[in-house]
Structure 1
Amino acid sequence: MPTLRQSSSGLPPRRCLSGLAGVLVFSFLVFRAGAGEFVRELFPPVAATPTPEAVRVAEELGVGVWMWTTNYADKQTVRFWRSFQVPSDPRVERATLKITADNVYRFYLDGREIGSGGNYRSLTEYDLTLLITPGRHVLAVEGFNDSLEGAVLLGLRIEFAGGERMEVLSDESWYVVPNDVTHWERKKKPDANWTKAKAVGVLGQEPWWLRPISIIPTPRIHPIRVPFWERGWFLGAVLALCALAFAMAVRLAARLAVQTRAQELLDRERMRIARDIHDDLGASLTQLVLRGEVAQTELAADSAARARLEELCDRARAVSQALDEIVWAVNSRRDTLKDFSSYLCKYAQNFLASTPIRCRLDVQGDMGAAVFDLPVRRSLFLAVKEALNNAAKHSGAKELFLRIRRDGDKVVVVVEDDGVGFDPAASGAEGNGLANMSERLSELGGECHLFSRPGAGCRVEFRMPLLYSRRGRFRWLPRVFEGRQAFNGAPEPDRARNAARGRTTG
């Protein structure tokens, strides 16, 4: 049986040879790397003179020369920048860019990243037709060299209507951008410290190809459609509207604060006026009535002077009652639905106490202390007074129902009697009074409805809003004393009626 021969080291010959080959390869790579750096420093990259075939292929492909910076380095990143102007006429028919790099590239158009690649043996073709519009544009390319030589090759070809053509090729017209510059791909102009690119090779010059192994097309690049709500004009408009809304809110808040303060001062003044009227004029009228009654006792029962004193006392009582109504109307503490209901029920009972009509009350119990504006409650009170007076004078009723309830933001008051009734269409002077009531309430947004027929009694329904906002809040002052004709030259029939009410309720 044959035996294997061993080397002097004790290893088989094949293993010894493979180990020696590995050492030689490693030594060669180390030497090449070191020698490469030495050669780079000793012989910087220089582009050779292109051959006629290289010129023809470059024209056919639409590319320039291989460009880089002035030196090579491993793990090296180089940025290239170039701007160009596209005329507005003629129209752009087609725009394509072919690019490759040794080893990796990434390129931008007008700050937008378009594409990237890493196979320097092939060209990648990008269709930029929809992106190339009239005006100035910026091309920016970032190339990365992993080791040994590095370069970028590209060409942008723009074809216009009519056959004209424009090209932006890789050459020494490009700028090299320092790596510490931020937003360099969006800059419109080059900085002063940017240097020019360098042509380091032509087509067919080692180690690069004369013809690419393939041209890789890509889909057409479309512009980025920015929604209108992301556009500057829309954001500016929204910002302007927000600023306007804020300014209006501040203005309204200031006005509200001023009006609130004015309303507080006004309510305070109303309370002061009501207190002064009650304490001064009311007390004086009360003393006048008392002195008149004392003077009557000192005169004979059948004397004419006593009759005149009695008439004066009745007038004083009527004026005192009218003054109480004014004090109630002016006092801001009474601007609630609860106080209005209480005062109206008390007035109806006192007014009908001296008549054969029995007063029945039907008041909602959960109305609460809702605010009831002065002009509204004042007009509604005068309208109800007119309805009560008409019932006492003309109805011949035995019972009268006064119903008060709240319906949402409105108050409903019903005056209903079981009297003789009448035909509203044939009413005379009474119709004028009812028309006046309806007109007074409609001015404040209220309603007045009358239901009656002969022999079936009469029903008057008033419906008024709690708050008066159709006009300004401070326009009620001229109407505070409206209806108090006893003080400011009212017609004689109204004065007589007020005097009669004073006699019946005193």
Structure 2
Amino acid sequence: MLFPLRHLLVAFCAFGTGALAAEPIRLEPVEATTAADARFAEAVDGVETADNGWMVPQSTPQSGVFRCVPPMAAGRVRFSLVFGSGQKDSCFGEFSISVTTDRNPSLAGHWQLVFPTSFSANQGWLDRAYPHLHFVDHPGKTTARVGGILPDDGVTGIRVEVWPSPMGPASNAILTELRMERMPFGTTNIALGCPVTASHALPEKQYAESLTDGLIGSYAHPANSRLGRDFYFEIDLRRTRDLDHISLRGRAQSGTGGQFTHLHLQLFDEEPESDAGPVWEGKVRETAPEAEPGTAAVVRSADGQGTFRGRYLRIFSTSVAPYSPQIAEVEVYESLVPSGVQVRSNDRLVTGLPAVRIPAGANWLAFTLEEPPLRDGMTLGKRLRIVGGPDGWIAPNWHGAVETRGLPPGEYLIEAQLRHSDFEWNSASLRIPLIVLAPWWKNPWAQLTVALAAVASAALLAWHIARRRVAWQLAELERSQELSQERRRIARDMHDVVGARLTQLTVMHELFAAQETLSWKTRERLEELTTTARDAVGALDEAVWAINPRNDTLQNIADYLCHAASSYLSPLDIRLRQHAPEAWPEREVGAQKRHQLLLAFKEALQNIVKHAGANLVTLTLRFEDPVMVICLDDNGCGLPPDAAGPEKDGLENMRTRLAAVGGSCVAQTRAEGGTRVEFRLPV
């Protein structure tokens, strides 16, 4: 049988039911190449009399543009061209219809040709002159009906183009009335009406657009019987989409199965002519199908490799059968899942995300699935199941709800799916966790008693341990406070008593040295004593700083090191750059650690002055929890390859001092010149 009855029923459902929902589209005249003809507007004035209509000379190509009010959504479309003048040759000899989405339709705009998926005339013979239509004869009166598909939303205008008749000169044509109707798609097939191209020529009366015209009776194949995989069809889906499945249909005729085998499919995000490869590639029908001719071959993501998405679909065949592939229809279905689910427990609405929590004791549950926005208010089949529950997939009742009895306490998963217009269930599904709470009276009292006793015992033990720990900490705190007070007293006494005496001694030396009666040698000795006294005062200040517990913070250490470096280097005309954070964490640093760090730091400054010959020193301080890092970089001569003598002793002293308090000291020559000394002190 050439066209099985089942296929004809599918075609009737697609087109017949759509016709019942036809929506007239109001057209307004915009402009025409016959602008001087005031009768152009009569083509859409609703009057169908013999003396009314747009007069179109057929000696040269002519065009007329009409505006759609309001702009039209995507869908199936049907044009009716009424030629009612009764005059000889008053019908268009050859014509086509195009559409535009330009904001203001015009003759010079961007136009897309509408591929006629169906055409007829109540009188005369209307035939295809690809990509146009033409009347084979010249009826006096007739109405031509042309069906097509508009895959894009926002169609703002149509253009009627007329060419001279291929049968020779003809008189002026008169278009009495032009009508336009839109029908809903009625399908989730996103390939419907999309542009199709073929890599090579097709036989006469075959067209690549037949693959997406929604008609399973039309088909296409290469004109050359031996092209093999060099031939391909390519469909532009208009934009990149995530796909669920692709349905392919071959010719509904016995003996053509070989031309519908070894099919290869490729999906591209960009035009395949570019350097980008396919994002998904798969194959189907490795052998001739045993099913009835015309049965769809369904391709899903698992049938290939890659990401099942893209804008461009390319199809070719590696079959050895001649004229392969022979394809009647290609349907592409985007992945669709329910947008949400409404749950009721004992007729009470239950809310909550990301998991739905059902109260204890619920003996009846109802789930209402929410569909994603679909064109023309289209609704799809639905089903739902509770993973972990006793039932399988359940379809909604006539109220649109999926109902089930209550579930035992536990954790489940709501899974919901949508069914496409080709009756294939979408692979992806909506998944929402479902928790059924247990009633309190089902928990054994014994378990509760044991749990409470265990908690009480643990709390008592924790309280006892915590009490002893607090007492120990208080004792330690008291000892620490006593030690801190003693350190403060020693620091105060050293500063007030010893410091004052050393200062007095320094001043006395200065006064004696200033007397003119002293010999130069005596004055020189007194100045040396003065310098020694000053050094002793400075050393005493450092010792007081190290002992005083008020300075046991990172901030005080950083401030003191910056001050010490500046005081030491500035009188010697050595510039100092300092890099330190504005705020330091609260960490306590003991006196011994501060003392050893300060001595090693001053040793490093002394080495720079004595041996480096530098005029710039960079001091960098930072905290790498739990280590304080101090870096001294100079632009001097660097370390000698074989340091010996006092210089080597100084480096070893610094390492020894830092090691004594758990730290480290590393001295090395920098790649850009000079020396880096890095102290690392754990705190």
Normalization by structure 1: what TM-score?
A: 0.43
Q: Which of the pair is proportionally richer in helix? A: 1
Q: Which of the pair is proportionally richer in strand? A: 2
Structure with higher RCO (Cα < 8 A, 6+ apart):
1
Structure of higher CA gyration radius: 1
